[in-house]
Amino acid sequence: MEIGTLGGIIGGFVLIILGILAPGGDIGLFWDTASLIITIFGSLAALIVSFPLDTIKNIGKYFSISLKKSNFDYEDLIHTLSTFAETARKEGLLSLEDKLPEVDDPFLRKGIQMAIDGVDEEVIRKTLDKDMEKMDDRHRLGQDVFDQWGALAPAFGMIGTLIGLIMMLANLEDKSAIGSGMATALITTLYGAIFANLIFIPVNKKLAVAHDQEVLRREMMMEGILSLVHGENTRLLKDKLISFLPREMRMKFSEDEM
């Protein structure tokens, strides 16, 4: 598990609570069940209007992805593809047939299998590009859900505030209740801001980061597969794959080779 997501959310709530208690505030003043219902379930209802039910059912799945630690082992990927390239140059592409069971990733296994089968390079590229497009659509959908939820939560917080103000103004004869009524009305706006900025928007960003890592991994795989088709030497293949990596990762490779 990637503790940053859950730890950040919990830490954010703890800091907010401490910010209330430190000056001697009463935490009970900031709890209102009706406001919570309007903010969370109201925005969820609008989310259901925005997306198909099948997508809404996957909200838990999308959130769990943000909790997963990236298992992108670029060193292992480069080593695997370099080994395959060396074997293919010495014994031919057909010799990789026996190594396919060692490949866990379906995308990489599919590409290598097409290379072994002698599929045209352009067909391989188009097929893998199509797989990446489908992956992009799936990932973008999860990001869009939390992006939309992040926009809806503050809006419903404002709706709750307006409801509270209307109820308060309808009872202006009780002037002693105006202060507490105003405070209660503003709680929904607070809830909307907290949930949007502490959960929904950050989760959307975390999903975007995970997507970028997956795209990088698949781009490296596709480059490696096409290099196998071309029969490129191991050194050239390794250099091409390393060039995909961010600068700090490339520097680590240079240090390892020293």
Sequence-ordered alpha helix ranges (H) in 196-233: 201-230
SS (H, E, C) 164-178: HHHHHHCCCCCHHHH
Only one residue has tokens 């490949």, namely 103
Only one residue has tokens 């020293």, namely 258
Rounded to 5 degrees, φ, ψ at 238 are: -65, -45
**Contact status, residue 206 vs residue 5, Cβ threshold 8 Å:** yes
Cα separation of 223 and 229, whole Å? 10
In order of 39, 40, 56, 142, 190, the CA distances from 156 in angstroms are 5, 8, 18, 21, 11
**Contact status, residue 204 vs residue 150, Cβ threshold 8 Å:** yes
Predicted confidence pLDDT, tens digits, the chain (258 residues) = 677 888 899 999 999 999 999 988 888 888 888 889 999 999 999 999 999 999 999 999 999 988 887 777 788 888 888 888 888 888 888 888 888 888 888 999 999 999 999 888 899 999 999 999 999 999 999 999 999 999 999 999 999 898 888 877 777 776 666 666 677 778 999 999 999 999 999 999 999 999 998 999 999 999 999 988 888 888 888 888 888 887 777 776 655 554
Record the pTM. Answer: 0.84
Q: How far is CA 180 from the centre of its chain?
A: 40
